């Protein structure tokens, strides 16, 4: 099934334009929305997943759950859906306010997006996680130090943005 995305301006106003996500090329002033979910358990560890080996980008790398906001969805709806789909956890009862927001503009590649990063605190462990086969081949709850070690090896996506989000919260 083809995923459709809504296009927004820099102020997050819907432009009225909806396009297929696959092969999307965004022009100046056009953005799609993404969400990332930092899921932290009662022991202070962070849920990370290892990307499927058939991913066309960063196959086998580690990351936190996230993805694109689909047409008609809000950021809040998207983060709840992504966490449920990718790791089988329900965050709908958690505070649904981003802790950090950033913007990427890459006019050469038409890769312009705004990302909302959420931080959830759940009483969960690896037994509570159900991975989406097409997205991930493994998961674990890792310490921040373990995540830093993966980042130093060049095997962790969005590391600097997660670090910025946690620093903005006063966690780091």
- Taking only the tens place, the pLDDT of each residue in 10-53 is 999 999 999 999 999 999 999 999 999 999 999 999 999 999 99
pTM of the full predicted structure? 0.95
Counting residues of the chain whose pLDDT is more than 70, the rounded percentage is 100
Percent of the chain with pLDDT over 90: 93
Structural domain boundaries of the chain? 4-164
The residues, any chain, with a CB within 8 Å of residue 137's CB and separated by 6 or more, are 50, 51, 52, 53, 60, 131
Class level of CATH domain 4-164: alpha beta
Give me the pLDDT at residue 172, please. Answer: 87
Quick one: which H or E segment has residue 88? none
């Amino acid at each position: 099934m083809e995923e459709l995305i809504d296009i927004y301006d820099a102020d997050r106003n819907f432009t009225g334009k909806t396009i297929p996500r696959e092969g999307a090329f965004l022009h100046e002033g056009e953005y799609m929305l993404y969400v990332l979910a930092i899921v932290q358990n009662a022991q202070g560890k962070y849920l990370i997943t290892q990307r499927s080996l058939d991913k066309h980008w960063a196959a086998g790398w580690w990351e936190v759950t996230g993805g694109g906001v689909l047409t008609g969805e809000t950021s809040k709806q998207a983060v709840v859906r992504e966490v449920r789909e990718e790791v089988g956890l329900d965050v709908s009862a958690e505070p649904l306010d981003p802790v950090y927001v950033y913007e990427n503009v890459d006019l050469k590649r038409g890769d312009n997006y705004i990302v909302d990063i959420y931080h959830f605190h759940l009483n969960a462990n690896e037994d509570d996680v159900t991975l989406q086969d097409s997205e991930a081949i493994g998961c674990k709850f890792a310490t921040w130090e373990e995540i830093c070690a993966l980042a130093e090896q060049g095997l962790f996506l969005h590391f600097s943005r997660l670090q910025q989000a946690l620093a903005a919260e006063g966690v780091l």
